[in-house]
């Protein structure tokens, strides 16, 4: 708490500032100019650490903009897992009974990370399994005025589960299906129990950075990732997540699995094949397949009693083909198929057959 002398001094400075800029008006009480406390304090266990996130304030207690926020300080109190959570009160610029474990200057926050108004700190200092850690945060402006403590966050340091077992990836058309077996124990060797869910991370190729693709942990032991690019290589890693009323705890990553989705669906067959014979040639025409990824049309020919043989192909914009490798008086059967642009092209079934006799 501020002493009476400190309050008087702060009030005098405020009055001098008003006089210097030529403005007149009633003085503002110093406590009304304090930053509001940080908000949204959240935390979870990541292997051997507790990750704490919060949102830095942008206003003061009087709702005026806070444009000179210079630092935030993370405090921690350790206690047993039972009993009431320790209160947090500001006294002489510090939170009484709490240790200041991370004074973070926002101009150079490392090793903390800052994205927009969100600040993250990874706490690895002296954590013991089964102990409860209570966190609060304060914010300080350029004049050294500290906010009140934030809401308290209590995290009991629990052992997370081991990685999912026997992870398998099956490629599909623009998708990948993952399947796995649940872990049987926690990382401290104790049996796995309680509610365990799973986080799925994906990277591109062998070196692409892994990113979380499941904002909420997955229940069950399978997941299908859709909307992928066929023939591209993807890499997947899974992490087990223990959900406990006292904390969420994420375990180590599984062994990566690599897979490439592939288009295995053949296009529709061309339709309405028609043939017009003439001396030394047969002109074929057909209706195109509706799919947008057609790479070419293949033309097949057979004698009256023989099997079909591929005799030519056309680009998808052309649905006409002239076969000049025919004999006068010969009888021929024709069919056309469509092939797509997959790395391993899928071929449609044959169109309707037509039979002609060359004059």
Q: Kindly report, residue by residue over 284-336, the tens digit of the pLDDT.
A: 999 999 999 999 999 999 998 889 999 999 999 999 999 999 999 999 999 99
Return the structure tokens found at 286: 């057909």
Binning pLDDT at 50, 70 and 90, where does residue 93 land? Answer: confident
Residue 2 has pLDDT above 70, yes or no: no
Higher pLDDT, 18 or 281: 281
What local confidence, expressed as pLDDT, does residue 25 receive? 38
Mean pLDDT within 258-285 = 96
The whole-number pLDDT of residue 206 equals 84
Q: What is the pLDDT of residue 29?
A: 54
pLDDT of residue 259: 96
Counted residue by residue, the chain has a size of: 359
Q: How much is the pLDDT for 30?
A: 58
CB 101 within 8 A of CB 138: no
State pTM to two decimals: 0.72
* CA gap 161, 159 in Å, rounded: 7
**Banded model confidence at residue 9, pLDDT cuts 50, 70, 90:** very low
Contact 356, 332 (CB under 8 A): yes
User: Which of the four pLDDT bands, split at 50, 70 and 90, describes residue 148?
Assistant: very high
The mean of the pLDDT values for the chain is: 90
Q: Three-state secondary structure along 165-218? A: EEEEEEEECCEEEEEEECCCEECCCCECCCEEEEEEEEEECCCCCCEECCCCCE
**What distance in Å separates the CA atoms of residue 127 and residue 155, rounded to the nearest whole number?**
11
Sign of the dihedral through C-alpha 4, 9, 12, 13: negative
Domain 165-259 has CATH 2.60.40.10: yes
Phi, psi of 129 (to 5 degrees): -60, 140
Residue 17 has a pLDDT of 28
Question: Which of the residue ranges 10-19, 47-56, 205-214, 227-236 would you say has the lowest mean pLDDT?
Answer: 10-19
Specify the pLDDT at position 1: 35
Common-topology check for domains 34-156 and 165-259: yes
Do the strands 257-259 and 294-303 form a parallel or antiparallel pair, or are they unpaired?
unpaired
Domain spans in the chain, listed from the N-terminal domain onward:
1-32, 34-156, 165-259, 271-357
CA distance linking residue 300 with residue 149, whole number of Å: 79
183 pLDDT band, cuts 50/70/90, is very high
CATH class of 34-156: mainly beta
Confidence (pLDDT) at 305: 83
pLDDT at 28 over 60: no
Per-residue pLDDT at 167? 98
- Model confidence pLDDT, tens digit, residues 95-140: 999 999 999 999 999 999 999 999 999 999 999 999 999 999 999 9
Q: Decide which of 1.10.510.10, 3.30.1110.20, 3.40.250.10, 2.60.40.10 is the CATH code for 271-357.
A: 2.60.40.10
pLDDT at 22: 33
């Amino acid at each position: 708490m501020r002493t009476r002398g400190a309050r008087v001094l702060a009030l005098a400075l405020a009055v001098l500032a008003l006089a210097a800029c030529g403005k007149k008006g009633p003085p503002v009480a110093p406590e009304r100019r304090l930053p509001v406390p940080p908000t949204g304090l959240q935390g979870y266990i990541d292997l051997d650490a507790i990750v704490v996130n919060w949102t830095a304030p942008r206003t003061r207690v009087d709702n005026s903009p806070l444009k000179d926020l210079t630092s935030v300080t993370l405090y921690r109190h350790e206690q047993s897992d039972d009993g009431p959570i320790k209160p947090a009160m500001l006294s002489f610029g510090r939170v009484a009974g709490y240790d200041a474990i991370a004074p973070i200057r926002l101009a150079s926050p490392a090793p903390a990370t800052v994205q927009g108004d969100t600040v993250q700190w990874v706490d690895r200092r002296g954590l013991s399994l089964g102990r409860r850690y209570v966190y609060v945060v304060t914010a300080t402006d350029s004049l050294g005025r500290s906010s009140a403590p934030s809401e308290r966050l209590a995290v009991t340091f629990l052992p997370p589960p081991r990685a999912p077992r026997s992870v398998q990836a099956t490629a599909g058309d623009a998708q990948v299906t993952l399947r796995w077996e649940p872990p049987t124990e926690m990382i401290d060797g104790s049996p796995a129990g309680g509610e365990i869910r799973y986080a799925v991370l994906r990277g591109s190729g062998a070196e692409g950075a892994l990113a979380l693709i499941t904002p909420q942990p997955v229940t069950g032991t399978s997941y299908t990732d859709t909307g992928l690019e066929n023939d591209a290589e993807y890499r997947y890693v899974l992490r087990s997540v223990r959900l406990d009323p006292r904390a969420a705890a994420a375990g180590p990553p599984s062994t990566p699995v690599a897979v490439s989705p592939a288009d295995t669906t053949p296009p529709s067959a061309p339709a309405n094949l028609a043939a017009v014979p003439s001396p030394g040639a047969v002109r074929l025409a057909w209706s195109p397949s509706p799919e947008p990824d057609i790479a070419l049309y293949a033309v097949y020919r057979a004698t009256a009693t023989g099997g079909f043989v591929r005799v030519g192909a056309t680009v998808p914009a052309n649905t006409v083909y002239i076969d000049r490798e025919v004999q006068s008086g010969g009888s021929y059967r024709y069919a056309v198929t469509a092939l797509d642009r997959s790395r391993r092209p899928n071929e449609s079934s044959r169109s309707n057959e037509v039979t002609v006799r060359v004059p």
